[in-house]
Amino acid sequence: MRYRGFEAPEPPGSAELLDEVRAAEAGARAGDRAPLEPRGRSEEELLARFEEVVDADEKIEPRDWMPADYRRALVRQMSQHAHSEVVGMQPEGNWLTRAPSLARKSILLAKVQDEAGHGLYLYSAVETLGVDRESLFRALHEGRQKYLSFINYPTPTWADVGALAWLTDGAAIVNQVPLCRSSYGPYARAMVRVCKEESFHHRQGFDALWALTRGSAAQRRMAQEAVDRWWGPALAMFGPPHAQSTHSERSMRWRIKRHTNDELRQRFVDVCVPQAEALGVTLPDPALRWNAERGHHDFTPPDFEELRRVVAGDGPCNRQRVAHRRRAHEDGAWVREAAAAYAAKHREEARW
């Protein structure tokens, strides 16, 4: 894999996030405590021990006893994450054939390939809970399971690919780094792998925009207009405010989620401001300013009404994205069948 190397400096704030990932990996405690075997135990005993393990920041593993709601919440959250990686290949894949230099084409190809891989790591983690991947695809195709809202927006220009990567991968990192300390073992481990690769993606977006903001007037305009389009969807990506978020409370209790939506969104804004300055783009929020008292930036919240509509299926690209996935899956059925048929025919000959 050859690229000319990033010209832009490392985006401010990324090193700290990566340090957290490494710390999470190193700190994954080899614990002595484990949930109890269910035989002969009451629901209360099992739950009490389960919560002890979680509170001690130790891991729950696939065959452990776990509350049904914990398992349900994990399936939902990990599936949504996996679907997001896979469907997220579309807005970026949109510019693969037209990338304006071979270096950019290579980098973008690597990123899109990584996303497929991340989807696979995450589906793999969901499957440890006994849910078949095929059924997850069905849930996605039928709209019963969701993916991150920003993916339902179009990438009309090359600059959108850079802005999307800079902002949403940046948001994803802020969201995902804490998940490296998720209570569920396979999820935490998948997230460590994902986060390490994700920092490259984020950097790629920053670098692509950097080239534009230091380019021609047309390129600078392209970059600014893309940032104007993507700021809102990126902010909205963290979900509704904590008070309105149906799943948050319990997810946090059980360390499936480590921070509230609002905390994550604030962190994201604080990280983005110096990066936007370095890039030379203006974030489209007149109320954005440093608040010395709070020690954070004040900002205008995203349009939650729009988020609600997009999540409900009425964003600009929802139907297109899901239809694309469904079609790819349906078109591939004869191929998958062929491989399965071949395997069945030759099973006696092979060792497996």
Partner 1 sequence: MNADARYALRLGDDALVAAQRLIQWCARAPELEEDVALANIAADLLGQARALLALAGEEEGAGRDEDDLAYLREESEFGNALLVELDNGDFAVSTAKALFFSVYQNLLYRALSAVAHPVLAGIAAKAAKETAYHVEHAALWAVRLGDGTDESHRRMQAAVDEVWPYTHELFAPDEVTRAAAFAVDPAGLRPDWARRVEAVLVEATLRRPEDGWAPSGGRAGAHTEAFGYLVGEMQVLHRAHPGVRW
Partner 2 sequence: MVSEESQERSQWPLWEVFVRAKRGLGHLHAGSLHAADARMALLHARDLYTRRGEGVSIWVVPSAAVVASSPDERDPFFDPAADKAYRHPGFFELPEGVRHL
User: Which residues bind to partner 2, rule: CB under 8 A?
Assistant: 28-32, 34-37, 59, 61-64, 72, 75-76, 117, 120-121, 124-125, 127-136, 138-139, 144-146, 185-186, 189-190, 246-247, 329-330, 333, 336-337, 339-343, 346, 350-352
With binding defined as CB under 8 A, does residue 290 bind partner 1? no
Which of 11, 119, 232, 239 is in the footprint of partner 1 by CB under 8 A?
A: 119
Pick out residues in 207-236 that bind partner 1 (CB under 8 A).
Answer: 208, 211-212, 214-216, 218-219
- Among partner 2, partner 1, none, the one that 243 touches (CB under a kind-dependent 5 to 8 A) is none
Burial (Cβ within 10 Å: 0-12, 13-18, ≥19) of residue 225: middle
Please, what sign has the CA dihedral across residues 53, 28, 24, 167?
negative
- Name the nearest CA neighbour of 122 among 82, 83, 70: 82
Q: Residue 161 Cβ, how far from partner 2 at the closest point, in Å? A: 23
- Cα dihedral 42→48→50→53 (10° resolution): -150
With binding defined as CB under 8 A, does residue 106 bind partner 1? yes
CB proximity list for 303: less than 8 A, separation 6 or greater: 232, 236
DSSP 8-state code for residue 180: G
User: What are the residues facing 289 on neighbouring strands?
Assistant: 298
Sequence letter at residue 267: R
- Among partner 1, partner 2, none, the one that 208 touches (CB under a kind-dependent 5 to 8 A) is partner 1
DSSP state string for 179-216: GGG-SBHHHHHHHHHHHHHHHHHHHHHHHHHHHHHTS-
CB proximity list for 165: less than 8 A, separation 6 or greater: 92, 111, 201, 202, 204, 205, 206, 208
CB 178 within 8 A of CB 258: yes
* Residue 54, both tokens: 């979680």
With binding defined as CB under 8 A, does residue 120 bind partner 1? yes
Which of 15, 23, 56, 116 is in the footprint of partner 1 by CB under 8 A?
A: 116
Whole-angstrom Cα distance, residue 223 to residue 273? Answer: 16
- Among partner 1, partner 2, none, the one that 169 touches (CB under a kind-dependent 5 to 8 A) is none
Residue 154 or 185 having the CB closest to partner 2: 185
Residue 94 or 128 having the CB closest to partner 2: 128
User: What are the residues facing 291 on neighbouring strands?
Assistant: 296
Pick out residues in 142-181 that bind partner 1 (CB under 8 A).
Answer: 158
Q: Residue 114 Cβ, how far from partner 1 at the closest point, in Å? A: 9
**CA atoms within 13 Å, Cβ hemisphere of 124:** 14
Task: Output the CA angle 273-166-115, nearest 5 degrees.
Answer: 150
Q: Residue 126 Cβ, how far from partner 1 at the closest point, in Å? A: 13
Q: Residue 99 Cβ, how far from partner 1 at the closest point, in Å? A: 8
Residue 98 or 346 having the CB closest to partner 2: 346
Which of 39, 98, 294, 351 is in the footprint of partner 1 by CB under 8 A?
A: 98
Question: Which residues of the chain form contacts with partner 1 (CB under 8 A)?
Answer: 1-2, 86, 89-90, 93, 96-106, 109-110, 112-113, 116-117, 119-120, 123, 158, 208, 211-212, 214-216, 218-219, 324, 328, 331-342, 345
